Structure 1
Amino acid sequence: MDYACAARTNGPLVITAGACPLDEHGATVCVDDPAGQARQCVRNLAATLREAETDLDHVVRCTVYVATRDRGRLRTTWNAVRDEFGTHAPPATLLGVSLLGYDDQLVEVDAIATPA
């Protein structure tokens, strides 16, 4: 069970909830590995966007939350997210936060996209 959801607005936007680093069984992956968790978050986000009939190339804004106070871990996480997006570079905000919702969760990514 990968947790992420999306809701369409009356306008041409898809707004997602935070994609978490969960596998198909609902378990947190890549414990203590923010880059690995970031990759899983973006993969889960991509799956959610496909369900909403769009994709990562149509993301117009994203926010990346990282449970850390360490700037090095923030950079590592950001680099992994950026790599997953490939050549598409939407405007984004990277935030260090104190805690996220799942056990061992370090990263969460939400996004706003336009329809494909």
Structure 2
Amino acid sequence: MPTNEVRLLRSAALSDVAEYAYGAVVPPDSPLVFAAGACPLDEDGTTVAVGDYAGQARQMMRNLSTALAEAGAALSDVVKTTVYVASTRQQDLVTAWEVVRDQFGDHDPPSTLIGVTVLGYDDQLVEIDALAALKTS
């Protein structure tokens, strides 16, 4: 494996039920991108898809992709995420997670999924923060 690639970690000793890797190793010369929490806001700062976990998660992921692109990164460069869902219902967390998982495709970085009481914007149901590693040439 080339030394400039992120390595996602899996272990036969851990369950494969989780839909993400259990860890990631970043090459020592890779610059890191610390993305602020991406929210389900449109370009005017209005919360989209009020009451819709999946709709908000799609906008959140678009916003994350845009923020990463500003640093020269993509979703495939993400090495860790935390997804926050304002709900006490596990199904709402799963609904948001399915959107996140689908947006990452075959790239399954380590992630934490958390149910929270409230998020920062009016009508906001989801938020994601991410750490990405830029590839070095």
Q: TM-score, normalised by structure 2?
A: 0.75
SS, match of residue 21 in structure 1: coil
Match of 1:78 in 2: 97
In terms of fraction of residues, the more helix-rich structure is: 1
Show structure 2 runs of 5+ residues with no match: 1-29
Match of 1:64 in 2: 83
Q: What's the Cα RMSD here? A: 1.3
Match of 1:3 in 2: none
Match of 2:117 in 1: 98
SS, match of residue 38 in structure 2: coil
How many positions carry a matched residue from both structures? 107
Q: TM-score, normalised by structure 1?
A: 0.89
CA distance in 2 between partners of 1:90 and 1:32 (Å): 27
**Map 1:1-116 → 2, pairs under 5 A:** 12-116=31-135
Percent of counterpart pairs with the same letter? Answer: 59
Show structure 1 runs of 5+ residues with no match: 1-10
Q: Deviations over 1:87-114 (max 9, x none)?
A: 2111000000000000000000000000
SS, match of residue 61 in structure 1: strand
Q: Which amino acid aligns with 2:78?
A: V
CA distance in 1 between partners of 2:96 and 2:72 (Å): 27
Runs of 4+ residues deviating >6 angstroms: none
Larger Rg: 2
Q: Deviations over 1:17-56 (max 9, x none)?
A: 1000000111000101111111111110000000011110
